[in-house]
Amino acid sequence: MEIILSLAYTTFFVFLIQKIRFFELSGISKKWVTGAFLLKVIAGFAVWAIYTFYYTDRATADIYKYFDDSKVIFDALKTNPSHYFAMLTGIGNDGGDFNQYYKQMNFWARAHDANVLNDSHTIIRFNALVRLFSMGYFNVHTVFMCFLSFVGLIALYKTFSEFLMDKKKELFFVVFLLPSVLFWGSGVLKEGILFFALGLMIYFFNRLFEFKATIAVISMAFLLGFSKFYVWLSLLPGLLFLLWVNKTNTQKVVFKFITVVIVLATIGFNIDRIINIQNPLVTLSQKQLEFNKLASGEMTDMTGKPIPVANSAIQINKLEPTFVSFVKNIPQAVSNVLLRPFPWEMNSIMMLMAGFENMLIIAIMLLCLYFILPFKELPWHLILFCLSFVILQFIVIGETTPIIGAIARYRTPTLPFLLIAFLLVLDKQKLVSKLPFLKRILN
Q: DSSP states of 142-165 as a string?
A: HHHHHHHHHHHHHHHHHHHHTT-T
State residue 277's pLDDT score: 85
State residue 388's pLDDT score: 96
Determine contact, residues 115/228, Cβ cutoff 8 Å. no
Averaged pLDDT in 10-residue chunks for the chain of 443 residues: 93 96 92 96 95 79 90 91 90 82 83 59 94 94 97 97 92 96 95 96 88 92 91 94 89 93 91 86 91 81 72 90 94 95 87 92 94 92 96 96 93 97 93 80 73
Please name which of 387, 343, 393 lies closest in space to residue 365, comparing C-alpha atoms.
387
Q: Which amino acid is at 370?
A: Y
State residue 72's pLDDT score: 92
Q: Look up the pTM and report it.
A: 0.94
Determine contact, residues 387/169, Cβ cutoff 8 Å. no
Q: Which amino acid is at 299?
A: M
Please name which of 210, 217, 214, 211 lies closest in space to residue 235, comparing C-alpha atoms.
217
Contacts of 302 (CB under 8 A, 6+ apart): 59, 65, 106, 107
Determine contact, residues 412/185, Cβ cutoff 8 Å. yes
Determine contact, residues 284/115, Cβ cutoff 8 Å. no
Please name which of 217, 239, 227, 234 lies closest in space to residue 155, comparing C-alpha atoms.
217
Pairs from 125-133 (Cβ < 8 Å, separation ≥ 24) = 125/70, 125/73, 125/87, 125/88, 125/90, 126/70, 126/193, 127/66, 127/67, 127/69, 127/70, 127/188, 128/70, 128/73, 128/74, 128/84, 128/87, 128/88, 129/88, 131/70, 131/71, 131/74, 132/74, 133/9
d(CA 402, CA 289): 10
d(CA 285, CA 321): 6
CA distances 431 to 79, 373, 380, 383, 442, Å, are 64, 10, 21, 20, 10
State residue 115's pLDDT score: 53
SS3 sequence of 317-375: CCCCCCHHHHHHCHHHHHHHHHHCCCHHHCCCHHHHHHHHHHHHHHHHHHHHHHCECCH
What DSSP letter does each residue of 369-428 carry, written as one string?
A: HHTBPPGGGS-HHHHHHHHHHHHHHHHHHHHH--BHHHHHHHTGGGHHHHHHHHHHHB-H
Q: How many C-beta neighbours within 10 Å does residue 18 have?
A: 13
Q: Residue 39, CB half-sphere, CA atoms under 13 Å: how many?
A: 15
d(CA 132, CA 122): 16
**Per-residue exposure over 292-330, b if at least 16 CB sit within 10 Å of its own CB, e if not:** bebbeeeeeeeeeeebeebebbbebeebeeeeebbeebe
Determine contact, residues 242/389, Cβ cutoff 8 Å. no
Q: Residue 108, CB half-sphere, CA atoms under 13 Å: how many?
A: 22
State residue 302's pLDDT score: 64
Please name which of 124, 137, 145 lies closest in space to residue 188, comparing C-alpha atoms.
145
**In this structure, what DSSP letter does residue 312 have?**
T
**In this structure, what DSSP letter does residue 307 have?**
P
Determine contact, residues 58/64, Cβ cutoff 8 Å. yes
State residue 313's pLDDT score: 87
Please name which of 384, 84, 50 lies closest in space to residue 250, comparing C-alpha atoms.
384
Q: Which amino acid is at 320?
A: E
Q: Which amino acid is at 165?
A: M
